[in-house]
Structure 1
Amino acid sequence: MRKQAIANTLSPVPVLAFALAGVISALAFTNSAHAADVPRADLVNRKELRVCADPSDLPFSNQKGEGFENKIADIIADELKIPVAYTWYPKSLGFIRMTLAAKRCDLVIGWGQGDDIVLNTNAIYRSTSVLLYKKGTGLDGLETFADPRLKGKRIGVEQGTPGGNVVAANGLMSNVRGYRMNVDRRYFNPAEEMINDIRKGDVDAGVLWGPIGAYWATRGGEPLVVVPLLKEKVGGKISFRITMGVRNGDDAWKRQLNEIIRKRQGDIDKVLLDYGVPLLVDDDTSMEMVTKPRTTAAAGGSAAPAATAATPEQPAAAAP
């Protein structure tokens, strides 16, 4: 609106317009040159750890503090020696806009690396999608969606997910049953719905993001077989790093969190492993799995490698 008003005012006198444009350009160049010298306002509350979280999104978080992101928040708060305070909002459309961007909170515990809607910290873990099926249904030993035994089978897929891309690339879309992804999980739980359909035999196998699939496979009935997808050759990337997210511009806060992640990585790993999260080594060229918490790194270094295993199938174990 203001730009339009300036344009209307200057249009009858083009010489003056060009002169003003030159002044504005010069000022813009000067401001840009010195932008790095201007300190940004620190909007982070230093008296409590203000976490943006979903009130009903297990295994990640809930209002009872039962999710692994709740436990990781406790680790960060313990290191900072401050209490945790939550801002609750469903982690669906508008989540960042209504929480972090609105300055109601200062930290999202789990966010995908590379999404520029937030400023990413270093990764707190790397995981992959998992294949799920019921034991004794002719799929025992399954390791990949390329297995011919899946031809003609009913496959559960959350819509718009990397796991769905793998199913499509292997030519298995003709019998797919779709489940919604972006929902308010106070009222809908697509992952639990898929798990129950596999147990009932309405679906033969399914694919979910690893932390979700491994968690719900142990709840509500017979445990399902959980197979981390380590051997897929088609369908694109299915393993991703998960970071913490802060507001763009909160660079000092990001650096402080990175130091805490480095220092407490072993504690974070233990929480994740306790919840059955399929953890991968932090190396995009490897699909080896982490089986023990990484040790604390020496100052300035990275976390020492943990014990790893390449065995794809892991029995579902009850998480906390």
Structure 2
Amino acid sequence: MLKHVKKQIALIALLAVSANISQAAEPDIPSLNADEGRMGEVRRVVDESEFKVCADPDNMPFSNSKQEGFEDKIAEVLAKDLGRKLSYTYAYNRQGFLRNTLNAMRCDVVMSTTADNDAMRTTKPYYRSGHVFVWRKDSNFNITDWSSPDLRKGFIGVVDHSPATIPMDANNLIGNARPYRIQRDLNLPPSFMIDDLAKGDIDIAIAWGPIGGYFAKQSKVPMVVALIPEYETNNAKGKEFWNISVGVRKKDKERMAMIQGALDRNQDKIIKILDDYGIPHVAVVEGDSLAKSYQKYGASNKTQEAK
């Protein structure tokens, strides 16, 4: 019996080693040492000649390991402005992302977070986006707000527990909903909801603006994208628009000031990148946060065809 147990332990250890070797050999997704940064372990020393970004290796349109995302392009602009070498540490942006990247000193910059994220020191917002309605152009829908009759003509894809579910419920649209997981199944591409829309599995998609706008623009099936009107004054949990900032560690005041300067100097380039990727955006609302939930916004409801 003891001999059998020892064989099982040896087999498990062998499989674990093999898995680690396989992960380390993966060229597109550099592996992370799970012990790096823990007490008694070797810790990375920040190299001030680097602009080292914490990023997801498979999260278009934001970033990927080939540096094809719009955040990758914005990072290139900032690094060039600052005269620093751009480099990355990759980890899937899920639970523990900050703990295992920024706070473990494996990298120094998070390219996008909400401006009021108290887990990091954040820059002034460099863009603002909201949730969007997306539909196939050949549907001939005309959707401008939650009261639009065309919203009731088919299945609506929506991320479960996302802010948009609040006005959906208030407008008796939950019966039309086809929910998607709030944490993406990594076996599916980031475009999965818009892919389902293109196939006709759903008739309307409700998505965070950068995701809906980018994948609608990439789709071979012509799509229409419309920003959803702000709902925060009706219900704070239904907030649709968010200011987006760059984040660093709380203690990194000098790094923050340096990045802020680069953002200020390159705002025109950043807006062009957003437009090139089909990212819907509106004017930044100064001082916006969920805590100020009943502030009224002047952002207009814009509709655009994804070309």
The two structures share one fold, judged by TM-score above 0.5: yes
Q: How does 1:150-161 map to 2 (within 5 A)?
A: 150-151=151-152, 153-161=154-162
Aligned partners of 2:61 and 2:298: how far apart in 1?
23
Q: In the aligned structure 2, how far is the partner of 1:162 from the partner of 1:44?
A: 37
Offset, 1:242:
0.6
Report percent identity of matched pairs. 35
Alignment partner, residue 252 of structure 1: 254
Query: Is structure 2 residue 121 aligned with structure 1 residue 119?
Result: yes
2:32 is aligned to: none
Counterpart of 1:122 in 2: which secondary structure? coil
TM-score of the superposed pair, with normalisation by structure 1: 0.73
Q: Does 1:315 pair with 2:305?
A: yes
What per-residue deviation string (whole Å, max 9, x for no partner) do you get for residues 138-194 of structure 1? 52x211122123236311001221222232222200121111132364x323x5222
Q: Aligned match of 2:242 in 235, 240, 243?
A: 240
Further displaced range: 46-55 or 144-153: 144-153
Q: Distance in 2 between matches of 1:264 and 1:248?
A: 24
Aligned residues: 251
Q: Which amino acid aligns with 1:79?
A: D
Tell me the distance in 2 between the aligned counterparts of 1:107 and 1:115. 14
> Equivalences for 1:1-320 in 2 at 5 Å?
44-139=46-141, 141-151=142-152, 153-183=154-184, 185=186, 187-189=187-189, 192-230=191-229, 234-235=234-235, 236-283=238-285, 285-288=296-299, 310=300, 312-317=302-307
> Aligned partners of 2:168 and 2:242: how far apart in 1?
18
Output the CA distance in 2 between the equivalents of 1:106 and 1:60.
17
1:48-99 deviation per Cα after TM superposition (whole angstroms, max 9, x unaligned): 1110000011100011111000001101111111111100001111111110
Instruction: Tell me, yes or no, if the aligned pair for 2:114 and 2:243 is still in contact at 8 Å.
Output: yes
Any stretches of 5+ residues in structure 2 without a counterpart? 1-44, 289-295
d(CA) in 2 for partners of 1:149 and 1:127?
24
Q: What secondary structure sits across from 2:258 in the alignment?
A: helix
Relative to structure 1, the CA distance from residue 76 to residue 168 in structure 2 (aligned partners, 3 Å threshold; closer, same or farther) is: same
Amino acid at match of 2:306: A
Distance 1:280 1:250 in 2: 29
1:260 to 1:225, Cα distance in 2 relative to 1, 3 A: same
Deviation for aligned residue 1:266: 1.2
The residue number in structure 2 matching 1:9 is: none
C-alpha separation in 1, matches of 2:76 and 2:133: 31
Letter in 2 for 1:312: K
CA distance in 2, matches of 1:138, 1:128: 23
CA contact (8 A) 2:156 2:205 kept: yes
Cα–Cα, structure 1 residues 184 and 98, in superposed 2: closer, same or farther, change >3 Å?
Answer: farther
Q: Deviations over 1:268-298 (max 9, x none)?
A: 111111111111112365444xxxxxxxxxx
Over aligned residue pairs, what C-alpha RMSD do you find? 2.0
Judged with a 3 Å threshold, the aligned counterparts in structure 2 of structure 1 residues 118 and 269 are, in CA distance, closer, same or farther, namely same
Equivalent in the alignment of 2:41: none
Distance in 1 (alpha carbons) for counterparts of 2:145 and 2:118: 32
Equivalent residues of 1:112, 1:242 under 8 A apart: yes
1:195: how far off? 1.3
Deviations 1:124-146 (A, max 9, x none): 1001111011123252x211122
Counterpart CA distance in 2 for 1:267 and 1:51 is 19
Instruction: Give the letter for the 1:266 counterpart.
Output: D
Shift in CA distance, 44/244, structure 1 to aligned 2, threshold 3 Å: farther
User: Contact 1:50–1:107 (CA<8 Å) still a contact in 2?
Assistant: yes
1:155–1:176 contact (8 Å) kept in structure 2:
yes
Aligned AA for 2:304? Q
The answer to whether the Cα contact below 8 Å between 1:164 and 1:207 also exists between their aligned partners in 2 is no
Aligned equivalents of 2:162 and 2:79: distance in 1?
A: 32
